[in-house]
Amino acid sequence: MHLLRAIQKGADGVYAVGCLEGNCHYNEGNLRARERVEHVRILLEEVGLEGDRVRMYNLSSGEGPTFAAYAREMTEHIKSLGPNPLKKWAKG
């Protein structure tokens, strides 16, 4: 819902970050999260937006540089998709 709400309110893209697969404190929590993110991508496609505006990455808490690299990758990716067409409807 949070991912969907962000796009609904005009965000150009959103990414969720989970722990490395197999290292989740909640055992399969990050695998289930990936399923949910995949579902949100399908919902966005149904609505008429690019599902790839939402992505999921996995890394450990000690991988600061990787986190930054993913952030840059996502930023570049979003730029290539262009602005969210819903932005004009966002309030304020």
Partner 1 sequence: MIVAERKPFEEIKDMLKGYKKVLNVGCGTCVAVCLTGGEKEVDVLNAELDMARKLDEDPIELGAVTVERQCDREYLETLDDKVGDYEALLSMACGAGIQFLAERYPDMPVLPAVDTTFIGVNQDVGWYEERCRSCSACVLAWTGGICPVTMCAKGLYNGPCGGTDQGKCEISQEQPCAWFEIYGRLAGQDRLDLIKRFYAIVPWKNQKPRTLIQPGYKKPEQAE
Chain residues binding partner 1 by CB under 8 A are 1, 4-5, 7-8, 32, 43-44, 46-49, 85-86, 89
Residue 24 exposed, middle or buried by CB count within 10 Å (0-12, 13-18, 19+): middle
For the CA atoms of the chain, what is the radius of gyration? 14
Percent of the chain as helix, strand, coil, to the nearest 5: 55, 15, 30
In angstroms, rounded to a whole number, what is the distance separating the alpha carbons of residues 6 and 15? 10
**Complex with partner 1: residue 19 or 86, whichever CB lies closer:** 86
Helix (H) or strand (E) holding 17, with range, is strand 14-18
CB of 31 to partner 1, least distance (A): 12
CB of 69 to partner 1, least distance (A): 30
CB of 32 to partner 1, least distance (A): 8
**Complex with partner 1: residue 47 or 68, whichever CB lies closer:** 47
CB of 63 to partner 1, least distance (A): 29
**Complex with partner 1: residue 8 or 66, whichever CB lies closer:** 8
